[in-house]
A and B are shown apart, each in its own frame.
Chain A
Amino acid sequence: MAATSTYMASTHFSMLGWTTKGNNKQLKRRNFFSVSAQEAEIEELKEEEKQEETMKKPRPVEPQINVESKNMTRDYGGQWLSCATRHVRIYAAYIDPETFAFDQTQLDKLTLLLDPTDEFVWTDDTCTKVYSYFQELVDHYEGAPLTEYTLRLIGSDIEHYIRKLLYTGEIQYNMNAKVLNFSMGKPRVGFNYNGQMEDVNQ
């Protein structure tokens, strides 16, 4: 991560409360996260203090009511700005966590759908880790153009982070997943993690 001085603009991010609750362990659980980027001059000092911390706190976007799907028709190209890999789907839009209404007019927000195919077993703790890493990356890429390339850089970093979590044993494969193909490597027994990422090909 770059030094504090290279952060291009101070921003105010926030996070949407995701729908998972601690006791809600069913398979159809949705992991949900969205952040917004808004210019806020006053936040500058606080922001710099925050960047000293090792882990950023995700800040929730206020949940919106009466969200409708907007700009989804063919007139707007029938597509959206996104980065979609298996475990990370990032959209530059507000997505309602309940109804999945997809508001593409709100381009100042990024929404992260974490592991929609339920390949891993997530706890609130590990979810928060990924969300805070997402928040950190979004802060880091502040000022970068909002293009697919930037979203893909963010998404790839999150995927690598998820892989790291898997290798440290913080998350496990969900054995009840619909597609069980161990896309981040076969599970190992007695794998000893000594603080370094093992080479994938070994």
Chain B
Amino acid sequence: MQGRLSAWLVKHGLIHRSLGFDYQGIETLQIKPEDWHSIAVIFYVYGYNYLRSQCAYDVAPGGLLASVYHLTRIEDGVDQPEEVCIKVFASRRNPRIPSVFWVWKSVDFQERESYDMLGISYDNHPRLKRILMPESWIGWPLRKDYIAPNFYEIQDAH
């Protein structure tokens, strides 16, 4: 099963892998981290001028980390804009994914959050540092192998 964008990418000889469609029928593609920056630029030129959301998750214990991008093509007078979902997987040992900050500026805080929670380091991000946790925090809280420190919290106050 191949979506429109996948067919277009094949026509232009761009390496990707189709992951099918999500429950809303939006095409999902996997792209290698080393290709991601150039393909992001191509997508922007193609017309995906709006990054709706960026998020990241830990695929499986000991497995890969994924960074997910939802792109939308905003045009005048369109009520069903073209959408696509991109997944970029990185190894847990050395998770490096090129930042798309210079393509879609709105990814700034979202990539920082992904860095903070899962430790994916986005190359060429202008200010990649923790955004939710204190800067001296150790560990990546949303990884499946993260063990929360036994910090004291007031639980029993009456």
Contacts and interface: CB of A to CB of B under 8 A. Distances in A.
B158 A181 contact: yes
Interface residues of A, number: 21
A79 interface: no
Interface string A153-184: 10111011000000000000000000001111
A181 B157 contact: yes
Interface residues of B, number: 13
Contact of A148 (B134, B152, B157): B134
Main SS class of interface, B? loop
Given A147-B136, A148-B136, A153 B154 contact: no
B136 A186 contact: no
Contacts of B132: none
B154 A183 contact: yes
A183 B152 contact: no
A170 to B, nearest CB: 18
A86 B138 contact: no
A200 interface: yes
Contacts of A183: 154, 156-157
B137 A149 contact: yes
Contact of B155 (A147, A150, A156, A200): A200
Given A85-B154, A149-B137, A183-B154, 18 more contacts: A145-B136, A147-B136, A148-B136, A149-B138, A150-B136, A152-B149, A152-B151, A153-B149, A156-B149, A156-B150, A156-B152, A181-B157, A181-B158, A182-B156, A183-B156, A184-B156, A186-B156, A200-B156
21 contacts: A85-B154, A148-B134, A149-B134, A149-B136, A149-B137, A150-B136, A152-B151, A155-B152, A156-B149, A160-B152, A181-B157, A181-B158, A182-B157, A182-B158, A183-B156, A183-B157, A184-B156, A185-B156, A186-B158, A200-B155, A200-B156
Interface of A: 85-86, 145, 147-150, 152-153, 155-157, 159-160, 181-186, 200
